[in-house]
Chains A and B, each alone.
Chain A
Amino acid sequence: MHQAKLIDSLTYPETAKTHKILFGIALIAGLISLAGLFTDTKQFFFSYLTSFVFIASIGLGCLFFVMIHYITRSEYGVTLRRIPETYSSNMLYVGLLFIPILFGMQYLYPWTDQALLAKDQLIADKTPYLNTTFFIIRNVIYFGIWSFLGYRLYTNATNLDKTGDLSLDAAQRKVSAPGLFIFGFTTAFASFDWMMSLDPAWFSTMFGVYLFAMSFQVFFAVTILTVLYLRSKQLLTNTITNAHMRDISLLFFGFTVFYAYIAFGQYFLIYYANFPKSILWYYNRFDGGYDTMAWLLLFGKFVVPFILMLPAKAKTNMKIVGSMSVLIIALHFVEIYWIVMPTLHKGTAVFHWLDITLLISLSAVFLGLFFSKFRSNNMVSNNDPRLQASLSKH
């Protein structure tokens, strides 16, 4: 058998206008959405939060993958890694996109309402944690840590491309190991802050793991679709091979099951115990249109992908894996919507155009940032010490 060599061009075409088009879309959708800020302020912030968590969770999923890739010295991931690496290197910008939420806190979070705190002792008891100052401090810390990790891992990797200095590869592991440890806690507390505290009476120890499981599942979908996009442009067709796609699809399948396990575990324990304090959260999400979404999530995020991606052959069939990725990304948004929106529209799901314009705007920013960075460096780490092993996978 012939030993594989790096034969593709590793640079994203300079002439490509992908990022400019995306930024244009983001701007237009953003401007349209701004109109909503004045007509329906509360709706604006809820829609904004939904779309924000959508892109932030993708970034977090990517960041986790990059770190776990280094820790496990994964071979299959070498050719793919630059994609999530680039996504997660933009966590600083994602953090900047969080700032509008700080201005909408009084619309989003009931615990900012002094009148409610005076009435409701249960929520008043939580003020040492749930208060505006600490909320801001915490989020600065989260985004500071994630931005640092994403940026550091990205620059180390691109420097390795340029210099071939292998000590940088070891440095990646030194960043990743404590990085993963901190990532676990920051993601969990971020999930409490962003989404769990929308309903300050509700609590679930699993919630952080739940957001993580969702993020990691959607990371696979996003990465797979990005690769398929590159392939459609005839890029990296010989570098990211079927062997790599098979492995990432296998993990996509595995973490789809993991997501289902976590999501079901949380639901099931709350359902079974049937405590008034915690069951109401689910009760509101199984009512007035939200129930349809819940069923959609069960089938679309687990049952259908599980059945279709189970056969070994399906994992190299990019029609199946690609369509499942689209489905998972769409439903990932639906799931965040399903978590966030019942706080605003209790009882009946009300669709609002802001949900779509803000989703388009924020996603286009996120993708635009990706493509603008993706063209400035190699699309594959050409000096990675495990590249040869990765290329030779079959």
Chain B
Amino acid sequence: MSQKTTYIPEPELVQGNHTFGSITSLVGDIVETPAPRWWYIAFAVSNLLLGLLLAMLAYLIWEGTGVWGLQNPVGWGWAIVNFVWWVGIGHAGTLISAILFLFRQGWRTAINRFAEAMTIFAVMCAGIFPAVHVGRIWVIYWVFPLPNQMQMWPNFNSPLLWDVFAVSTYFTVSLLFWYVGLVPDLATLRDRVKSKLGKMLYGTFALGWTGGNRQWQHYEKSYLILAGLATPLVLSVHTIVSFDFAVSIIPGWHTTIFPPYFVAGAVFSGFAMVMTLMLITRKIYGLQDIMTINHIEKMNIIILVTGNMVGFAYIMEFFIAWYSGFEYEKFAFVNRAFGPYAWAYWIMFLCNVISPQFFWSKKMRTSITASFILSIVVNIGMWFERFVITVTSLAQDYIPASWGYYSPTWVDILTYVGTFGLFFSNFLLFLRFLPMVAIAEVKMVMPQADPHNYDEDGNELPKESH
């Protein structure tokens, strides 16, 4: 039997009949032309928030962690919630850049640079919280196994310590991965910018890249190796974050589904954050040809899938809490949904499980407005998820006499708000000074990069070229 159908090509990843040259100018011009006025305004606001963050941290270190809302029995509050939230957001970058790369998903090229940058800044925001929560930050180096005359060693049995290593490794590898990917594009900018200083700086960081064959070979090999290294890190970081909770024996925390559930949740919130930022930037900078509706749709599908994984985990937790026959386990979950924090639980459930269901419809998946609103809703939901897990499991513990209701203080709130200042200050600098789309990689997925001598039906063209 022969084939009756012909080859149906996928929609082109880059729309709008671009040439290699026009892609370079589309992305390069953003860096080379003066920043628009909105950028200065946004940067000023972000800096103000960053200042707020620094002030809050200084106040915290001066006064001690008592300025936070922590008190018995809730010994973990907004700090860990914010930590997990930010570090979770960071996961999308590595997922897009490393895992989708290993799966040879060409569509990642439009958003990987962007997502990787977001990862790095999100991990920076995340790292603040565990660092400052120790109280006496001036002895933070005690987390490292340094020989000392007090014979004092970190507790290697504690996932909190593994976190230090996991997050710092993750940050380092993500940064390296981002930088290696940037090298060819930095060389492009070096060759294009007019200012002497720009030429020197881009030139320095481009490491003498000339785009020679040998260089590309080395580049691709190192990129592949870094992708291979980064992939287990995506799993490990959030797995260890989930261990922070799950190795304990607190009902609501000790449940075996936590590792994959946290990873799915992290990818979920990370994609939502990439979506929010991408929809704004593609509009402002006119990158609709590179970050197309197809990209948005694919990302929305991933949001839907991971949202359902998170929903699956919620349902499994609830079911097994009942099935376990363990009264404390049952109480922890019933209390989550109907206790004093029910409002938080239902916000979480609505935002994370119900809202992504809109993406079953193709119309919603390809609607910019819907994508934008839902991406923000998802991140609100994921913040509440961490809040629900952390606080509700602690507030009503085994001894009813010590039950309490946790509320954050103004320091908690303003510190969290301040982290957005850190994030956006960095992000705006990135948009201003670095190519926000991987120029070289986008070119690789354009049809021009695949010259061939057969037509779309696979028939050879009359003229044989080699």
Known: A1-B452, A386-B8, A387-B3. A265 touches B239 (CB 8 A): yes
CB-defined contacts of A181 to chain B, threshold 8 Å:
308
Known: A209-B260, A273-B254. A382 touches B458 (CB 8 A): no
Known: A184-B308, A208-B316, A383-B4. A126 touches B323 (CB 8 A): yes
Q: Is A114 an interface residue (CB 8 A)?
A: no
Establish whether residues A269 and B247, one from each chain, have CB atoms under 8 Å apart when the complex forms.
yes
| CB proximity of B388 to chain A, nearest CB, Å | 16
State the CA gap A3–B452 with chains docked (Å). 9
Establish whether residues A275 and B249, one from each chain, have CB atoms under 8 Å apart when the complex forms.
yes
State the CA gap A257–B249 with chains docked (Å). 27
Interface residues of B in 416-466 (CB under 8 A from A): 452-454, 457-460
Chain A residue nearest to B459 in the complex (CB): A3
**Interface 1/0 per residue, B324-360 and A, CB below 8 Å:** 1110000000000000000000000000000000001
Interface residues of A in 54-100 (CB under 8 A from B): 71, 73
State the CA gap A303–B1 with chains docked (Å). 44
Count of inter-chain pairs, beta carbons less than 8 A: 117
Task: Identify which of A132-140, A199-207, A364-372 touches chain B.
Answer: A199-207
Q: Which of A125, A126, A383 contacts B3 (CB 8 A)?
A: A383
Chain A residue nearest to B224 in the complex (CB): A312
Establish whether residues A122 and B325, one from each chain, have CB atoms under 8 Å apart when the complex forms.
yes
Known: A3-B459, A203-B323. A382 touches B1 (CB 8 A): yes
Known: A129-B323, A188-B312. A204 touches B3 (CB 8 A): no
Interface residues of B in 213-257 (CB under 8 A from A): 232, 235, 239, 243, 246-249, 254-257
Establish whether residues A161 and B458, one from each chain, have CB atoms under 8 Å apart when the complex forms.
no
Size of interface on B: residues with Cβ below 8 Å to A: 47
| CB proximity of A297 to chain B, nearest CB, Å | 17
Q: Is B317 an interface residue (CB 8 A)?
A: yes
CB-defined contacts of A204 to chain B, threshold 8 Å:
256, 320
State the CA gap A73–B2 with chains docked (Å). 22
Q: Is B313 an interface residue (CB 8 A)?
A: yes
Establish whether residues B325 and A205, one from each chain, have CB atoms under 8 Å apart when the complex forms.
no
Chain A residue nearest to B304 in the complex (CB): A177
Establish whether residues A265 and B260, one from each chain, have CB atoms under 8 Å apart when the complex forms.
yes
Q: Is B259 an interface residue (CB 8 A)?
A: yes
| CB proximity of A263 to chain B, nearest CB, Å | 11
CB-defined contacts of B323 to chain A, threshold 8 Å:
126, 129, 192, 203
Known: A3-B458, A188-B312, A205-B317. A270 touches B259 (CB 8 A): no
State the CA gap A293–B293 with chains docked (Å). 51
Q: Is A353 an interface residue (CB 8 A)?
A: no
Establish whether residues B5 and A2, one from each chain, have CB atoms under 8 Å apart when the complex forms.
no
- Give me the 8 closest cross-chain CB pairs, A-B, nearest first: A164-B4, A388-B7, A205-B257, A206-B256, A3-B454, A3-B458, A385-B8, A265-B259
Offer 11 A-B interface pairs, CB within 8 angstroms, sorted by A: A2-B454, A6-B2, A123-B325, A205-B255, A206-B257, A207-B256, A269-B255, A269-B256, A275-B254, A383-B5, A389-B9
* Further pairs besides A192-B323, A204-B256, A272-B247: 20, Cβ < 8 Å: A3-B452, A3-B460, A6-B3, A125-B325, A126-B323, A129-B323, A166-B8, A205-B313, A205-B317, A205-B320, A261-B239, A265-B256, A269-B246, A269-B254, A269-B256, A275-B249, A382-B2, A382-B3, A388-B458, A391-B458
